[in-house]
Structure 1
Amino acid sequence: MSSLLSPEIVTVDSLTDRCDRCSAAARLTVTLTSGGELAFCGHHANRHHEDISRVGERITLEQGFEWAGK
């Protein structure tokens, strides 16, 4: 299990999810330490990178996406 300070980060070829904030194509999904999963487009993933890193147990990035939290 990852600590709150260092979530597991994996990269996949592509994601099929939609952003939970705006419905754009997801570039990042996060499995929350409290349970559940959220998806974010590139804009929202970078805008909320600190919060995502803090609450995430596992972060999945789409290949080629430059995430501010990495």
Structure 2
Amino acid sequence: MTTLLSPEIDTVGELTDRCDRCGAAAKLEVTLTSGGDLAFCGHHANRMHAEIARVASKVRVEEGFVWAGK
């Protein structure tokens, strides 16, 4: 049986990165369990919430943004 752990989720005041998918302002940053970081705009963060939760060790969400993966 495989047990999935939920990523650590922190709320931060403001993110300055751009979405790695489309270049829009990032609302969510992810530290991957395999190493490295990714940033997502609100649209892509919510669209890909299940995939993000599976591969993330840590998630930083911009204050005021409601992430579907929370």
Runs of 4+ in 1 over 3 A off after TM superposition: none
Matches within 5 A, 1:23-34: 23-34=23-34
Larger radius of gyration: 2
Identify unmatched segments of 5+ residues in structure 2: none
Residue by residue over 1:50-70, the C-alpha shift from the partner in whole angstroms, topping out at 9 and shown as x without a partner, is 000000000000000000000
Query: Among the aligned pairs, what percent are the same residue?
Result: 71
Report the CA distance between 1:5 and its aligned residue.
Answer: 2.4
Report the CA distance between 1:33 and its aligned residue.
Answer: 0.1
Are residue 50 (structure 1) and residue 50 (structure 2) matched? yes
The CA RMSD measured in Å over matched residues stands at 1.1
